[in-house]
Structure 1
């Protein structure tokens, strides 16, 4: 029986989504194959050993503190007691300090195999500006953008370059946190102010008229891609549209698109995955325009695993159950090792 350490919570604004994802993963795991150790990270950065019963909507003071001892065979202890040999870590931590290469670097120093991309793939996929540069230089299409690191360019200067509808995004954030659709100067000022609360780098992207499609990718050297799902929402797929009970967004799997586009969409997803040095898993978000152009929007290296998340649903549509998907992700982590 393998000992699997599930890490959840974290210090990012996506803390609550991480906890929801972890709960679903724990429920879907085959507990006849795995002994599961659950460690929650509070928004203050404290690591705590918790049980499913202690797991609330967020990680606060529940459980007992965990200590990390680099260089030791059994590197994680709780109140002096070893947590045992960990075979694989499943970090289900979204956003900064979880999906950006930081936790991946720590796990490598601890010599613990882990699910998902390594340090480089995690870091470059998290930074939307770096992602776009690498995808563009690999020959893929992306939405035009301007990077702002300080100050506030005039809205009319932006619209001259990118058009009358733009999207403002923190460079290193997920789940649409801090993202705004902007069509006028008042919205512009509010959007820039909010986005800079989450990052020192902000992207302003050209609004793309197209269908929002997502593809799940799985694998190390020879990654495989699912078919595509579609998100149909209002002006854009906001945090509220993704995670609140009042959402009017619709997830369609499989997407009702002309089948002639499917091979290129899957090939583009795999090409983006490889260009960003991804391993294990990622969800690739794309636009399909009315003229048939495919633009890569984002690559999510720790996609959501909530009950409404696209990544596990796409693999289920492809014939791999939630439980079998977790088995495959653990096997890929072991194959890659450290």
Structure 2
């Protein structure tokens, strides 16, 4: 079977995508598959690389850019990719894309229109999981505990910033965390301890999205649970991001690799059970399929707060998701194989539903 490994993209998480794709390509079971790297440049060009039939042929992280530099100038490597190639028989798309235009349902919708099987969450789950303002409503309806928060639209801020600030300071307590609604990997997120910092944080977040979420901070541990499955949902042992400081930004997490992962997390059996139950419920709330990583806060008093769900979490060598499954008993290569099979199964199920619909 042919795997179209799609990575890069126009979002701020472009570089993480390349790291994740490289890690996955080195662990594919090449006795069953061949891989076609498909790189999406920062300005949206789709370019394919050479066919890969064994792990030794996987390109380096830099070469996976297929000759494009940061300004989008091409040096000759790679050839244009036609979307119709995705419709080849015995092929599956493997989108290793983080953030907008990759993890938000847009590319999943493209695959659906082309009638192409693909790995990962579907359109609805991807869109809801990407948008923190929407997923919080779904989690609230599911009865899952969350920290107090406020959604702010860009036009609200531009029309009357004083009213927005007053509402935040009246309804929430410092410290506050300000996040773009549709980004992950700590991109555009900052911490505010006072009004001046809050203003600066809001302005920065609006550089990335027209909707932001302002959350009340809690003094808590950060615990994460991996989820795998379609209708049959499985959860991993919980892991912890062990913090040496209060808040890790994008650079600390992904460029400097300053985050320490404790897997499995040191927790009581009751807390582990509750976290895994909440993770499965969060996955169901967004109608997840394939994979997700669900992130929590855990206070000293053992209060659990659901932070967010990531429908395509990082797959780099430092990433929590594959390491959680390794600790649970599922090796990296087996995890990738399971994701491929889950994508194929969902596609077959969809074809059966469509067939019955046409019959009626």
Q: Which bracket does the TM-score occupy, shorter chain normalised?
A: over 0.9
Deviation at 1:189, TM superposition (A): 2.1
Deviation at 1:222, TM superposition (A): 1.0
SS in 2 for 1:268: helix
User: In structure 2, how many angstroms separate the alpha carbons of the residues matched to 1:313 and 1:119?
Assistant: 26
1:56 to 53, 57, 62: 62
SS in 2 for 1:133: helix
User: In structure 2, how many angstroms separate the alpha carbons of the residues matched to 1:28 and 1:53?
Assistant: 13
Is it true that 1:90 corresponds to 2:94 in the alignment? yes
Deviation at 1:110, TM superposition (A): 1.0
2:82 to 52, 62, 67: 67
Indicate the residue corresponding to 1:230 in structure 2.
Answer: 240
So what's the TM-score if we normalise by structure 1?
Answer: 0.92
Is it true that 1:46 corresponds to 2:45 in the alignment? yes
Deviation at 1:319, TM superposition (A): 1.0
Cα distance, 1:255–1:54 mapped onto 2, change above 3 Å: closer
- The structure with the greater share of residues assigned to strand is 1
Is it true that 1:17 corresponds to 2:32 in the alignment? no
- The structure with the greater share of residues assigned to helix is 2
SS in 2 for 1:130: helix
Is it true that 1:244 corresponds to 2:255 in the alignment? yes
Is it true that 1:28 corresponds to 2:39 in the alignment? no
Deviation at 1:156, TM superposition (A): 5.0
Q: Contact 1:16–1:57 at 8 Å: present in 2 too?
A: no
Query: After alignment, is 184-193 or 266-275 more displaced?
Result: 184-193
1:306 to 312, 316, 324: 316
Query: After alignment, is 143-152 or 11-20 more displaced?
Result: 143-152
1:327 to 330, 334, 337: 337
Indicate the residue corresponding to 1:116 in structure 2.
Answer: 120
Q: Contact 1:20–1:57 at 8 Å: present in 2 too?
A: no
**Gapped runs of 5+ residues in structure 2?**
51-57, 69-73, 351-360
Indicate the residue corresponding to 1:149 in structure 2.
Answer: 153
2:131 to 123, 127, 134: 127
Query: After alignment, is 257-266 or 273-282 more displaced?
Result: 257-266
Q: Contact 1:95–1:174 at 8 Å: present in 2 too?
A: yes
Indicate the residue corresponding to 1:79 in structure 2.
Answer: none
SS in 1 for 2:178: strand
Q: Contact 1:159–1:165 at 8 Å: present in 2 too?
A: no
Cα distance, 1:86–1:65 mapped onto 2, change above 3 Å: farther
Indicate the residue corresponding to 2:3 in structure 1.
Answer: 4
Cα distance, 1:263–1:55 mapped onto 2, change above 3 Å: closer
Deviation at 1:58, TM superposition (A): 6.8
**Gapped runs of 5+ residues in structure 1?**
77-83
Deviation at 1:143, TM superposition (A): 1.3
SS in 2 for 1:142: coil
Cα distance, 1:86–1:188 mapped onto 2, change above 3 Å: farther
Q: How many positions carry a matched residue from both structures? A: 325
So what's the TM-score if we normalise by structure 2?
Answer: 0.87
SS in 1 for 2:81: strand
Q: 1:57-113: per-residue Cα shift (whole Å, max 9, x none)?
A: 7733341111223xxxx556xxxxxxx435221100000000000000000111111
Query: After alignment, is 166-175 or 257-266 more displaced?
Result: 257-266
